[in-house]
């Protein structure tokens, strides 16, 4: 027999839930049960992968501490991951015992929350344990409390070993008729792989970046400006461009703390605008901060005004600086 313990508290020294779990683990191990404990606060970056640990478990203990309200965020994250990634057929055969201790108010509500959540997941709830602890030392030294804890561990062992039946509950009916997980049907192996990817921060960030890039491409195709970033700056310059007859010039604008340089090449009505590495043969090289550039693009300032006011520095043909304001007429300029 194997029982997993999922502890959703913060791991503080005088947490009464930890004392309860230690005593229950001792009793279960004396009964030759394999016990594995998962501290969710240590697994907070990998909670999405924890449902795979349910595969070999015959029963589990969901334990948390009510310190101010509810069973805590880590436990909710774990239950959310079970709803998204766990093998529901396997969950239907797993017994769960809730353990909720409180140093404030709400231990009974917390225990009911865990029971209801497990039933909605399709699992089998066992009689749990909850209690209010105002003085940790007196609680730990109380032999009557210790006897109750040990009996709860024995009851969990009996429930699993005898495969005790549970009375039907309305939660099961609600789950079948109302609650639906609107997602693509995946095999348990595919679901497990998906949970690993969801827990991989680098993968998630890469996916978000790809989505943002695709969104920018589609917005450009629809004639809409991207929300921000390099694409948004380039779009703003192209939109504000006013061609000048018989005029050609090359500009490079360096933005402080930005990895790329804004390259602007004008040849009458032909505009080439993009971010890239430094280039030669520039008529003007300007340097400013991102806030200063945003003021120019919003029409609050001009290139010439930024240069005269010290917000922008430049080298090259200074007469060409004025032409920037003639070539790019941002909205709001007078």
Residue 51: count other Cβ atoms within 10 Å of its Cβ.
24
pLDDT tens, residue by residue, 15-54: 999 999 999 999 999 999 999 999 999 998 889 999 999 9
Predicted pLDDT of residue 139: 94
- Give 188's pLDDT tier (boundaries 50, 70, 90): low
- Say yes or no to pLDDT of 229 above 70: yes
Predicted pLDDT of residue 7: 97
pLDDT tens, residue by residue, 278-332: 888 888 899 999 999 999 988 888 888 888 888 899 888 777 777 888 899 887 5
* CATH class given for the domain over 2-198: alpha beta
pLDDT tens, residue by residue, 230-282: 888 999 899 899 998 888 999 999 999 888 899 999 999 899 999 998 888 88
- Give me 178's structure tokens: 């109302």
- Give 334's pLDDT tier (boundaries 50, 70, 90): very low
Residue with tokens 């606060």: 41
Order the strands of the 312-316 sheet from edge to edge.
270-276, 261-267, 248-255, 284-288, 312-316
pLDDT tens, residue by residue, 99-117: 999 999 999 999 999 999 9
Predicted pLDDT of residue 223: 47
Domain range summary for the chain, segments of one domain joined by +: 2-198, 229-327
Looking at the structure, give the CATH architecture of the domain made up of residues 229-327: 2-Layer Sandwich (3.30)
Predicted pLDDT of residue 102: 95
Predicted pLDDT of residue 230: 85
Quick one: what percent of the chain has pLDDT higher than 90? 53
> Is the separation of the CB atoms in 262 and 273 below 8 Å?
yes
- Say yes or no to pLDDT of 196 above 70: no
Predicted pLDDT of residue 96: 96
Tell me, yes or no, if the pTM score tops 0.85. no
3-state secondary structure of 172: helix
What letters, b where the CB count within 10 A reaches 16 and e where it falls short, cover 228-250?
eebbebbbbbeebbeeeeeeebb
Nearest to 28 by CA among 146, 124, 130, 157: 157
Q: Could you please report the per-residue DSSP string of 147-169?
A: HHHHHHHHHHHHHHHTT------
Predicted pLDDT of residue 225: 45
Quick one: what percent of the chain has pLDDT higher than 70? 83
- Say yes or no to pLDDT of 224 above 70: no
H or E stretch covering 249? strand 248-255
């Amino acid at each position: 027999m194997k029982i997993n313990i999922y502890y959703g508290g913060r791991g503080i020294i005088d947490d009464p839930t930890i004392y309860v779990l230690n005593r229950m683990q001792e009793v279960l191990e004396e009964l030759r049960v394999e016990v594995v404990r998962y501290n969710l606060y240590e697994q907070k970056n990998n909670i999405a992968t924890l449902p795979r640990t349910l595969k070999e478990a015959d029963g589990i203990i969901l334990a948390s501490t009510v310190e101010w309200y509810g069973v805590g965020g880590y436990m909710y994250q774990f239950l959310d991951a079970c709803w998204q990634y766990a093998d529901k057929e396997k969950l239907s055969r797993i017994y769960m015992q809730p353990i909720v201790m409180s140093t404030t108010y709400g231990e009974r509500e917390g225990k009911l929350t865990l029971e209801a959540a497990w039933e909605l997941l399709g699992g089998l709830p066992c009689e749990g344990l909850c209690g209010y602890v105002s003085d940790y030392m007196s609680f730990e030294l109380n032999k009557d409390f210790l006897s109750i804890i040990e009996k709860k561990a024995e009851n969990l062992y009996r429930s699993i070993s005898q495969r005790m039946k549970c009375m039907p509950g309305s939660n099961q009916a609600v789950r079948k008729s109302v609650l639906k997980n609107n997602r693509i049907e995946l095999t348990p192996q595919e679901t497990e792989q998906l949970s690993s990817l969801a827990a991989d921060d680098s993968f998630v960030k890469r996916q978000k970046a790809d989505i943002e890039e695709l969104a920018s491409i589609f917005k450009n195709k629809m004639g809409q400006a991207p929300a921000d970033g390099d694409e948004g700056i380039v779009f703003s310059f192209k939109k504000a461009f006013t061609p000048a007859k018989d005029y050609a010039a090359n500009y490079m604008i360096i933005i402080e703390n930005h990895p790329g340089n804004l390259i602007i090449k004008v040849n009458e009505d032909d505009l080439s605008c993009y971010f890239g590495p430094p280039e030669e043969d520039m008529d003007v090289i300007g340097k400013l901060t991102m806030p200063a550039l945003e003021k120019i693009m919003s029409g609050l300032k001009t290139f010439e005004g930024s240069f005269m006011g010290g917000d922008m520095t430049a080298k090259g043909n200074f007469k060409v600086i004025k032409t920037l304001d003639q070539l790019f007429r941002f909205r709001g300029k007078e």
